[in-house]
Amino acid sequence: CEVQGYAYQAATGYAELLTALAGGQAAEREEAARWRERARRLRAAFHRLFWIDGEDGRRYPAIAVDGSGAPVTGPASNMGHLLNSGILQNDKEHRWVAETLMSDELRTPWGIRTRSAHLAGFNPFSYHGGSVWAHDSAIAVHGLATTGFVEEAATLLGGMLDAAAHFDYRLPELYAAYPSSRFGQPAPYPPSCRPQAWAAASAALLCSAMLRPDVDVPGRRLALRPIAPSLMGLNSPYSVRGLRLGERSVDVRVDSDGSTDVVGVDDEEWRIEASGIRVTDGSGRPDAQRSP
């Protein structure tokens, strides 16, 4: 199902790009219209084929459809990739996905299982059948954070930070997770790659989920909606350093209450939006102080 979401996102994004570059060119506008129509048909097919009615009355997207077009039943983690894709049609569908990800079928103390623990073939040490993938969970966390499910994202963020501590802060490709009452830490998956590119990239995605940035470099606008450390179970502020903002390098520090320091950008040149934000140009001189 995640491939459908990425294909939809690519089609709509390409149409937007063509429209922005079209100017007075009819050919680009016609090509953009063709890609928007392609995205529309893809979205309609997705909603016709992929939704499954769960036993609790909540619907969820199938992991896939088989060769005959029938949906493959059983909740799986790849539905988390749909949250940011645009293929979901309304708030109800986003909520269904969020609730399924956070159910005891998929959520562990350290990330999202690849397949439901309620299925007969579930195995926490199975590569596709119950293990936790770092990048897969990070994508779900980012989707939850950016679509308004902040408490859910914060819970998973705290769990993944805890998992990282058990692996010397180098998350492996995947690991096994039992309920914390049975096994107090994530278990290594022996053949997993460590380091591994997807797992390493998950750190950047988790940072983005923590800060929830919305950046318009040509328009010189930076909006931050950071998740407070306390929501993630942290007892101290956190910092993200070396963010590239156009030609600038920016550091962000988030205090326990969610108030934010931004260092390295001029508040007169950029429009900075956040609650309780303090902006400095890198010299230590405050440019602005805003209240929540």
Alpha-carbon distance of 119 to 74, in angstroms, equals 7
Amino acid, single-letter form, for residue 30: E
pLDDT tens, position by position, 173-201:
999 997 655 678 899 998 999 999 999 99
pLDDT tens, position by position, 126-142:
999 999 999 999 999 99
C-alpha dihedral (170, 180, 78, 216), degrees to nearest 10: -60
Q: Who has greater pLDDT, 36 or 267?
A: 36
Q: With 60 as the cut, is the pLDDT of residue 268 above it?
A: yes
Classify burial at 122, counting beta carbons within 10 Å of its beta carbon; exposed 0-12, middle 13-18, buried 19 or more: middle
User: For residue 245, what pLDDT is reported?
Assistant: 87
pTM score, two decimals? 0.90
Share of the chain above pLDDT 90, in %: 74
Q: With 70 as the cut, is the pLDDT of residue 291 above it?
A: no
Mean pLDDT over each residue of the chain, to the nearest integer: 90
Classify the C-alpha dihedral 9-80-207-230 as positive or negative.
positive
Question: Predicted confidence band at 252 (pLDDT cuts at 50, 70, 90)?
Answer: very high
pLDDT tens, position by position, 15-40:
999 998 887 788 889 999 999 999 99
Arithmetic mean of pLDDT, 45-50: 96
Distances (CA, A) of 118 to 180, 185, 208, 267, 269: 17, 21, 32, 52, 54
SS3 content of the chain, % helix, strand, coil (to 5): 40, 20, 40
Q: With 60 as the cut, is the pLDDT of residue 106 above it?
A: yes
User: For residue 181, what pLDDT is reported?
Assistant: 55
User: For residue 72, what pLDDT is reported?
Assistant: 94
User: For residue 111, what pLDDT is reported?
Assistant: 95
Arithmetic mean of pLDDT, 48-55: 91
User: For residue 283, what pLDDT is reported?
Assistant: 54
Arithmetic mean of pLDDT, 223-235: 92
Question: Predicted confidence band at 56 (pLDDT cuts at 50, 70, 90)?
Answer: confident
User: For residue 289, what pLDDT is reported?
Assistant: 44
Helix (H, G, I), strand (E, B) or coil at 179: coil
Classify burial at 101, counting beta carbons within 10 Å of its beta carbon; exposed 0-12, middle 13-18, buried 19 or more: buried
Q: Could you write out the DSSP letters of every residue in 87-113?
A: -S-SHHHHHHHHHHHTSTTTEETTEEB
Q: With 50 as the cut, is the pLDDT of residue 288 above it?
A: no
